[in-house]
Amino acid sequence: MPTTTETIDVTPLACQKVNEIIQAENAVGKALRVFVEGGGCSGFQYGFDLDEKRDGDQVFPYQGFEVVIDPVSWTYLKGMKIDYVDGIQGAGFKIDNPNSKGSCGCGSSFNA
């Protein structure tokens, strides 16, 4: 359960893909950790990992898994939307981040 009134959104297609990855990686019971780290062409980049919950994490339950975000990353990710796109330029997770002041063309990095 989130420890804040702010939340995140994970689309049904993204949920389906996360569950497929969890099954393929034999990681049932692990959470999807979403984080930011320094780097990328715009200053910060997004990261995803299958991980255990840690003290202080924001926890968001979804069907079949939980999304966890550490306190520092939460500052940058409040209100984000995670989608999965499969198009002519490839397939992958897409972040729509209302806290981003700009991003690069690849969509995997941003500045705040």
Whole-model pTM above 0.85?
no
pLDDT of 5 over the 70 cut: no
The CATH label, of 2.40.50.100, 3.40.50.410, 3.90.1150.10, 2.60.300.12, for the domain at 9-102 is 2.60.300.12
How far is the CA of 51 from the CAs of 10, 24, 48, 58, in angstroms? 17, 15, 9, 13
* Whole-number pLDDT of residue 15: 97
Q: Which residue type does 87 have?
A: G
Instruction: Kindly report, residue by residue over 79-106, the tens digit of the pLDDT.
Output: 999 999 998 888 999 899 888 765 554 4
Tell me which of 98 and 9 has the higher pLDDT. Answer: 9
39 close to 109: Cβ distance less than 8 angstroms = yes
13 close to 83: Cβ distance less than 8 angstroms = yes
